[in-house]
Amino acid sequence: MQSLPLACLLATTVGIPFASAQQIVVPSNRTTEVETGCLVRGLDPNGDGFLALRSGPGTGYPQIGSLRNGDAAYIKAPPKERWLYVENGAINGRETTFRGWIYDAWCEFYP
């Protein structure tokens, strides 16, 4: 896996402001065909209410954004354990550009 800088556009798009570009762990196998996406479902609105978008596959990586129930993300690499590398999707029903890692527990997978 390699790290690539992420433009600050991500921060404003997914609602977590930060001052500089983040380093995203990009899987080397992201060119492997993965034809599915994640529709975020099952988050407790009385709890945190969001699924963290992280810079790498694990809770030890910084949170760089968030997804909520009804948001969607395109899975762009085979899973690393239960972590999914995602690029782009829909936030609040609007097509949005982002990339990072999410945990699969709150994903409803679709073709």
In tens, the pLDDT along 33-75 reads 788 999 999 999 888 899 999 999 999 999 999 999 999 999 9
The Cα 55–Cα 11 span in angstroms is: 12
The Cα 26–Cα 76 span in angstroms is: 10
Looking at residue 21, its pLDDT comes to: 56
Looking at CATH, the fold of the domain delimited by 2-110 is given as SH3 type barrels. (2.30.30)
Do 39 and 89 touch, CB atoms closer than 8 A?
Answer: no
Looking at residue 45, its pLDDT comes to: 84
In tens, the pLDDT along 79-102 reads 999 999 999 999 999 999 999 999
